[in-house]
Structure formats: C-alpha cells, structure tokens
RNA sequence: GGUGCUGUAGCCAAGUGGUAAGGCAGAGGUCUGCAAAACCUCUAUGCGCCAGUUCAAAUCUGGCCAGCACCU
C-alpha cells in the first residue's frame, strides 16, 4: 500500500478540453497519456471521435489510441488488461501515467482495478441466448435469472435486454452468482494512488453550446467523408458503427433525411451522451471537479496532484507548483 | 373591414361533457466483457383570456385577444 503507483485521471463529458489539458499536464508532470475512450481506439475514426491529432500531441506519447482496425470487436475486459500493462510500463520508465477519456466503464475498470481475467467469452452460449431472446422475449430470460440469482435480477430492469442477457450468460457460464463474481474480480482496495480530475462547464447550457459548436467544427474538418466510410462498412464495423458522429448521418447517406436534420440529431445525441457521462463521473469516488477551459485549471490540477502525491522526484524532475 | 380555420408543457400532439394520452426536449439515475451501448424514474392543480350553461367544461354558448388563410 505504501508504494502504490501514482495515476492521474482526466475525465469529463465531450468537448470539455480533456485532450488539451492532458497534453499540457503530461509536459509539466513528465507523463504519458493512456486513452480511456471506447471509440478513439479505432484506426481511421478520427474526426468524429475527436481523437488527438499528431500536432496536438506535441511529442507526448499516447497509448491505446488509434491502434485497432475498426472491424475489431473489443471489450472492457481487453481494455482493462491492456491499460494495466500500459500503466505499469509507463510507471516502470519513471513517468507518470495520465489516463484520459470519457468512457466511464473503462475508467472505472482501471481505477477500481477490476480483474476480468477469469473467463473467456463464450460466443456460442451468447448466440444461443440471443436467439432465445428474439424468440421468447426478455421475460423468460429474466425469470430464469431471477430463479438463479435473485439479487442480480433485482438489480437489472427486465426491459434491459442487453444486461439481462449478459447476466444470464455469465451465470450459466460460471455457475456463480453476481455477488461471487464481483468479490472475485474486485480487489480490496484501489490499485493506484489515483488523482481523479473531472472537467465540466459552469452551466449545462454552456456545455451544450460547446458541443454544438464542436459538431460544426467536425463537419468542417471532414466528418462527412469519414462517416461515409463508416456507413459503407457498417456491417463490419460492429462497435465502431455505433459511435456518435456516424450513425446519425446514415439517414442522409440513405437519402432518407436532409443533412441539416441529421446534423441536428448528431448534436442532440452528443448532448444526451454528455449528460450520461456526467452522471457516471459525478458518482466516482474521489472526483475533483475543475472548470473546463479556465486558465487556472492546469495549475490547480498540478497543485492537487502534488498535494495528494507529494512533491518528489519520481517523474524525472522535481515537481513544484 | 368581411368570412373561415386554429389556439392543450420549451416543441410536436391525442383528447367533443366525467376530472389532461403519447413522443421529443429537459432533469435525475443504473452500470464488471458491444458502454459514444442498453435501460429506469421524474416533468401541465391545468388546455389563449373573460363570462355563462351544467352536479361536472380543454370539450357546449357568448364576447374578447392572437395567429394563419382567403375575400373586398
């Protein structure tokens, strides 16, 4: 416990300036960046996912960005494993790992140190359940789950097909209740001496107008061409095709809706997403909130980091504020 | 000036005498293997305004106001 590695985490809803802040902090704290974003992992999907550009990186190393072909299936389990190795590696080189992203599930897996290694995905079982789901509906599956693991079923709304399916799948595969699974995968304490930084705007309206503006910016940077590519490959880009920024434009490519209304839908979807992200981050234990875009945010984060982890030479130079 | 139509939440909208559907937006939330996904909860003491009829009016009657359309 005494020598837990330090970890700086930067999160917040879309369009709050995570990228710029994280690069600045990496330069100041001698850090490297580990991306925690479920869509920026994919190669080629750059404009729509607001991926860091090479110019924005300013020489700072970035990991787990732009490294997977868009047709690859991916999951938190794989992410957690990769991120863990990546963080360990950065730490071993005497640098500070800075995890940056907006995917709550991914962030949580790192911060809590969840161990997903127990079992492989059983695709045949999943497909089998999927078939039952489409034939019988959710209810029978939910009832089955309730009979097997009442506590787990109680926590999942019967309408939530995705979660009911997964919970039942996991039970049938392992024969263990959710509680048992949780206790086996969740360490007693957090693995890192983490400093959690959340970015948000002072007012929700301000956040929303920033998001709208950024969508326009994406359009100007060639979002349409990128979306077209995703549209043309939508059958193969299983996960990537559900990214916000592309699927909203599909009706336009299909000739079913004018571009303007698709853009409006895209902005709307982004705003809704930002709200969901906020819900997640607000409830992460130990979160420190800072104002998006404020000039003193960078200094304030450095100060917080030093206060939490101490002024030391750990990252190649004496940190001072 | 006349005639007609319309007026229900921020937006769309159902409701023709029995105590305000639904959708979107908005707010809050759930979260351990597709998560930028999936799902849940909440949100009109009030139907343009005023008066009247009635046990009961968003619904019927009259007047007024506003918008739209057409006519002169």
Q: What is the pLDDT of residue A82?
A: 97
Confidence of residue A147 (pLDDT cuts 50, 70, 90): very high
Q: What is the pLDDT of residue A319?
A: 54
Residue A133 CB closer than 7 angstroms to strand B? no
Measured in angstroms, what separates residue A318's CA from nucleotide B30's C1'?
43
User: Could you report the predicted ipTM of this complex, rounded to two decimals?
Assistant: 0.92
User: Rg of the Cα trace of chain A?
Assistant: 21
Please choose, from the candidates A3, A199, A195, A19, the residue with its C-alpha nearest in 3D space to the C-alpha of residue A110. A195
Q: What b-and-e string marks burial along A188-225, b requiring 16 or more CB atoms within 10 Å of the CB? A: eeebbbbbbbbbbbeeeeebbebbbeebeebbeeebbe
Span A38-49, pLDDT tens digits: 999 999 999 999
Measured in angstroms, what separates residue A260's CA from nucleotide B6's C1'?
29
Residue A182 CB closer than 7 angstroms to strand B? yes
Residue A180 CB closer than 7 angstroms to strand B? no
According to DSSP, the β-strands at A5-11 and A96-100 are parallel
Residue A282 CB coordination number (10 Å): 11
pTM of this prediction? Answer: 0.92
Span A157-213, pLDDT tens digits: 999 999 999 999 999 999 999 999 999 999 999 999 999 999 999 999 999 999 999
Confidence of residue A315 (pLDDT cuts 50, 70, 90): low
Measured in angstroms, what separates residue A59's CA from nucleotide B55's C1'?
81
- For the segment A135-161, the average pLDDT, to the nearest whole number, is 95
Nucleotide nearest to A101 (CA to C1'): B36
Span A79-106, pLDDT tens digits: 999 999 999 999 999 999 999 999 999 9
Give the lowest-confidence range in A61-65, A249-253, A310-314. Answer: A310-314
SS (H, E, C) chain A: CCCCEEEEEEECCCCCCHHHHHHHHHHHHCEEEEECCCCCCECCCCCCCCCCCHHHHCCCCEECCCCECCCCCCCHHHHHHHHHHHHHHHHHCCCEEEEECCCHHHHHHHHHCCCCCCCCCCHHHHHHHHHHHHHHCHHHHHHHHHHHCHHHHHHCCCCCHHHHHHHHHHHHHHCCCHHHHHHHHCCCCCCEEEEEEEEECCCHHHHHHHHHHHHHHHHHCCHHHHHHHHHHCCCCCCCHHHCCCCHHHHHHHCCCCCHHHHHHHHHHHHHHHHHHHHHHHHCCCCEEEEECCCCCHHHHHHHHHHHHHCCCCCCCCCCCC
């Amino acid at each position: 416990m005494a020598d837990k590695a330090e970890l700086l985490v930067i999160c917040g809803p879309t369009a709050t300036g995570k990228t710029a802040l994280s690069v600045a902090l990496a330069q100041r704290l001698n850090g490297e960046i580990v991306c925690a974003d479920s869509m920026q992992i994919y190669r080629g999907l750059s404009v729509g996912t607001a991926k860091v550009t090479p110019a924005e990186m300013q020489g700072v190393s970035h990991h787990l960005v732009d490294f997977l072909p868009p047709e690859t299936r991916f999951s938190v389990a794989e992410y957690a494993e990769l991120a863990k190795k990546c963080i360990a590696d950065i730490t071993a080189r005497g640098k500070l790992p800075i995890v940056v992203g907006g995917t709550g599930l991914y962030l949580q897996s790192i911060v809590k140190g969840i161990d997903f290694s127990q079992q492989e995905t059983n695709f045949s079982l999943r497909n089998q359940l999927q078939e039952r789901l489409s034939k019988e509906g959710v209810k029978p599956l939910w009832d089955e789950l309730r009979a097997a693991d009442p506590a787990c079923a109680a926590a999942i709304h019967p309408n939530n097909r995705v979660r009911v399916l997964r919970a039942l799948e996991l039970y049938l595969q392992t024969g263990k209740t959710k509680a048992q699974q949780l206790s086996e995968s969740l360490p007693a304490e957090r693995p890192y001496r983490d400093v959690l930084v959340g970015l948000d705007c002072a007012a929700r309206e301000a956040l929303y107008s920033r998001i709208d503006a950024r969508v326009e910016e994406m359009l100007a940077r060639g979002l349409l061409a990128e979306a077209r590519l995703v549209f043309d490959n939508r059958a193969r880009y299983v996960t990537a095709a559900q990214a916000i920024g592309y699927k909203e434009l599909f009706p336009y490519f299909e000739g079913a809706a004018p571009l303007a209304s698709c853009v409006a839908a895209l902005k709307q979807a982004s705003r809704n997403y930002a709200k969901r992200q906020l819900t997640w981050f607000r409830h992460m234990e130990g979160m420190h909130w800072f104002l998006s875009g404020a000039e003193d945010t960078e200094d304030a984060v450095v100060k917080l980091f030093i206060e939490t982890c101490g002024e030391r030479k750990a990252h190649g130079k004496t940190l001072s504020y």
